[in-house]
Structure 1
Amino acid sequence: MTESNQEKTPLAIHLCAPRGFCAGVDRAIQIVELALEKYGSPVYVRHEIVHNKFVVDGLKAKGAVFVEELEEIPAGHTDRPVIFSAHGVPKSVPEDAQSRKMFYLDATCPLVSKVHKEAEIHFRRDREILLIGHAGHPEVIGTMGQLPDGTVSLIETEDDARAFTPKTDRPLAYITQTTLSVDDTAGIVAVLQDRFPQIVAPHKEDICYATTNRQEAVKHVAPKVDAMIVVGAPNSSNSQRLREVAERAGCRTAVLIQRASDIDWHDFEGITSLGLTAGASAPETLVEEIIAAFADRFDVNVETVRTAEETISFNLPRELREIIASSQAAAG
């Protein structure tokens, strides 16, 4: 099919919208770029700013240095800015930064910060707290780390919800990771509410708008196509959930890939339709790269399938707003 003199098979690509960067990811990347512009390199970033190798490598090339812990920052560089990733961090991390007299910028997604505040409110109101999420994910570590050790119980599955035994006789409340499967979480919540009818739910849904919108778009497209590609990193929770949603929606081939070079073409033999989306931390350039790779082998027709409009944006840290203001003034 790659021979130029061979007629290409038609392929309808159904491009999910919304897809790719959410407002929280966009803000986090902008924080690193603006910090580099204002303070020069190196700028240190604790953990991957977002879970995408292409994005991280691009920021490294501009002068960002990624570390997993603050003690990895050389002693002579503690005056350099350090940025906390979009996933959020335990309270101990900014406390550690302050004790080391570090200047830090917090790129935690505001919707993750909202969950942190909910946890603190439940704690102040003397409620026993359950967190629905995935063990080991940075967001879960950060959320549980807002409160003293042992305060929050992690619930990963419906079985966990059925087996859970309250540690106290205090009222129960639950919060959730922002990047979960909407359907999986609904099942877990249903079990908890059936067992504990008085359990306090979030005032507003914790699963973020972007996660929900991207899953809804996949549910719409996946049953209609022969195969589905989710562009995203294997350690990206929201990207993994998109692949699972596509499978459950009836798509027989649903794969998560980081970029075009990772495509296993055997997975796409004989297809006439393809669904394509991207996780919230995957840049659009990688989506375009994959469309181009398919265009080399197929006669592609791309149709955008939009199921929601997104207009949300988040404010930058005060220290960086002046750069935006000055660049806008110069452009004006």
Structure 2
Amino acid sequence: MVTGASGGVGRATAVAFAARGDRVALLARGREGLAAAADDVERAGGEALVVSVDMADANAVEDAAQQVVDAFGRIDVWVNNAFAGVFAPFLDITPDEYRRVTEVTYLGYVFGTRAALRHMLPRDHGTIVQVGSALAYRGIPLQSAYCGAKHAIQGFNEALRCELRHGGTRVRTTMVQLPAVNTPQFDWVLSRVPGRARPVAPIYQPEVAARAVVHAAAHGRRREYWVGGSTVATLVANAVAPGLLDRYLARTGFDAQQDEQDEQGEQGEADSGGYGNLWSPADGPHGEDFGAHGRFDDEARPKSAQEWVSRNRNRACAALVVCGLSAATTAGLRRLRSAANG
């Protein structure tokens, strides 16, 4: 089950599971996006089940889970990915908007996890993947509601892992911390900044995130995965020098998250009544499907060396050991030859 499956990382993740021949339940609100995502899943070799649901509605999420179990027989993997956001300074976000972001982005994960556990625990089998962000550790300006929700997910998931270990179950939960990703969200998000909302570079393609999520689903014993060199750099810098990072983001964080206005002075469509998805699905006015990719294909990276290392850390460690032994052996032989010649 993949929530937020109609676009972006959720869409790419659903297709990545389908490429393995999996049965994939697609959860989101938008009809056009869900229908197109189902077509993508079928073309990739999977079997799709579309379930329209608002993740902020706990009862609806429970019903969605039961609908999937009725159709597929069980839930092996649940991927929490759905979110909403507002690009604006804190005081420009209304209380209702803040509440809505929190209900979708944080409580949606809580409700999804509860629904998953109700079906996984009796079978003593299953993995829950929480799709997170570097912003789960490091808040940035203009995204206070989203950052707060991601921080909450981090704390919630850590507590849940402890409880699952205490109970001795084989059900696992893990978290995948993502970098900036090229998704359509930056044209959906409700925005009150002068320019068009954009991710902070470097930007990665959603397929990079999808590969990490699929890997995490198969290796749920690890507590979390970091994807992208920028995620590693951000989290390490925040752990070592958070005050310095505060000052850096205060100076650069506003401009780094906005494209300049075009010649007509247009910004993102969201605050002018366009495709903003805070209160309703991001279905376009003419039935558009926005897909997995946003408007940053020209600069987005299709691969991440760090993500490969994270997925293959045993092989990477073995390679480092071999390189180290080789270097030590070479140095030893040189010393022996030098001694012999002396």
Whether TM-score is above 0.5 comes out as no
TM-score, normalised to structure 2, is: 0.34
Structure number having the greater helix percentage: 2
TM-score, L = length of structure 1? 0.35
Where relative contact order (Cα < 8 A, 6+ residues apart) is larger, the structure is 1
